[in-house]
Amino acid sequence: MNKLLILLFLIVSTCDTGNLNVIADLPKTLNEVSGTETTPNTDWVWMQNDGGNKAIIYAVNNKGNIKKELKINAKNIDWEDLTSDQNGNLYIGDFGNNLNIRKNLAILKVSVDSLKNKGNINIERISFKYPNQTKFPPKKKSMHFDCESFFHFNDSLYLFTKSRVKNDFGKTHLYKIPAKPGNHVAEFISSFNSCNGLGCWITSADISNDGKSVAILSPKSVFVFTKFTNDDFFSGTVKQYDFTFESQKEGVCFKDNQTLYITDEKAHGEGGNLYEFKLD
C-alpha cells in the first residue's frame, strides 16, 4: 500500500468515530464488552463481556491492554453493566433479561480486597425482583423488565430498565435497591423516554464522582441529568448529546466530572473501542 492510500485509510478510519475520541482499540477478548467502570486510586478501567462469555472481569489500561483477569465464582448468565462504590468495591449487573422471563436477577459484589487477588474470586449476591412484574413473560406491551444499566449511589443501587416494546424502545424505568446481600423488591422511582426507535434503548448508566451528574447511554446518544431532586434523577435538567455515528454502545462511566469513557461491541467490522467523550 503506497503512502497516499495509507493516509486516506487513516483519514477515513478517524472520521468513522465522529465526535468520539478513540482512546484504544480493545483486544478480541473484549469483542462483546458490556460494562465499563473506573474505581478509586487506579487508572485501570474494569470491563466485562455479556452473557454466554466467561465469568471474568478485566482490568484494562488506557492503551487497551489487559493488565489483569479475575475469574468470578458465579455464572455469567447475562452480565450487562459494572459499577463501583466510594470504597472501590465493584458490582456486576447480572440482570440482562431480553425475554423478560428471568426470576434470578442479581447483582454480584466483588470486594475491593478481592480485586487485588489472583485466581477465583468469591462474590456476595444481591438478588432482586421488580414490584410490578407478575407474569414471566408479561404481555408484549409490558416488556419493560430487561435491564443493562445501573450505578451505586449513597448505599443504594439504581437500575435503569431497557424497553422491549415495539415503538417504545426509548422508555426506561428507574428503580432502587439496597446495596447489600439479600432478596430485595426494587422500588420504582420514575421514568424517562429518550425516543422511540431501536437506537434509543438505554444500555448503560453512571453517576459522576461528585454526585451531581447522571449519564445514561443509548447507541446514538448520551443523556446527562443535572440539578435533580434527591435520587429522582429524571427530575433534573437533561441535556442530550448526539453521536455522529451509531454503534453497539454498551458501556459508559465517568473518567472525571466532565469526561466520559464509552465502549462499544465489535460488530460488522466496526466498534470494539474505548472512547473518550467530553461534556460541555
User: Across residues 224-242, what is the average pLDDT?
Assistant: 97
Name the one residue in this structure whose C-alpha cell is 472525571: 256
pLDDT the model gives residue 119: 82
Q: What percent of the chain is modeled with pLDDT above 70?
A: 94
Q: Above 70 in pLDDT, residue 112?
A: yes
What is the helix (H) or strand (E) element at residue 12, kind and residue range?
A: helix 3-16
* Cell representation of residue 200: 434509543
* 177-208 per-position pLDDT tens digit: 999 999 999 999 999 999 988 889 999 999 99
Residue 198: per-residue pLDDT: 85
Q: What is the mean pLDDT of residues 230-252?
A: 96
| Dihedral of the alpha carbons of 131, 92, 242, 261, in degrees to the nearest 10 | 150
pLDDT one-digit tens code per residue, 34-68: 999 999 888 999 999 999 999 999 999 989 999 99
Distance between CA atoms of residues 150 and 1, nearest Å: 46
Closest CA to 159 of 212, 204, 109, 219: 204
Beta pairing class for 90-94 and 146-153 = unpaired
Task: Give tens-digit pLDDT for 67-107.
Answer: 999 999 999 999 999 999 999 999 999 999 999 999 999 99
CATH fold for the domain made of 27-278: Neuraminidase (2.120.10)
Per-residue pLDDT band for 1 (boundaries 50, 70, 90) equals very low
Residues 6+ apart with CB under 8 A from 19: 243, 244, 277
Amino acid at the residue 46: W
Using CB atoms within 10 Å of the CB of residue 120, give its burial: 0 to 12 exposed, 13 to 18 middle, 19+ buried.
Answer: exposed
Instruction: Using the structure block, give the residue that is written with the C-alpha cell 448508566.
Output: 205
Q: Where are the domains of the chain?
A: 27-278
Question: Whole-structure pTM over 0.85, yes or no?
Answer: yes
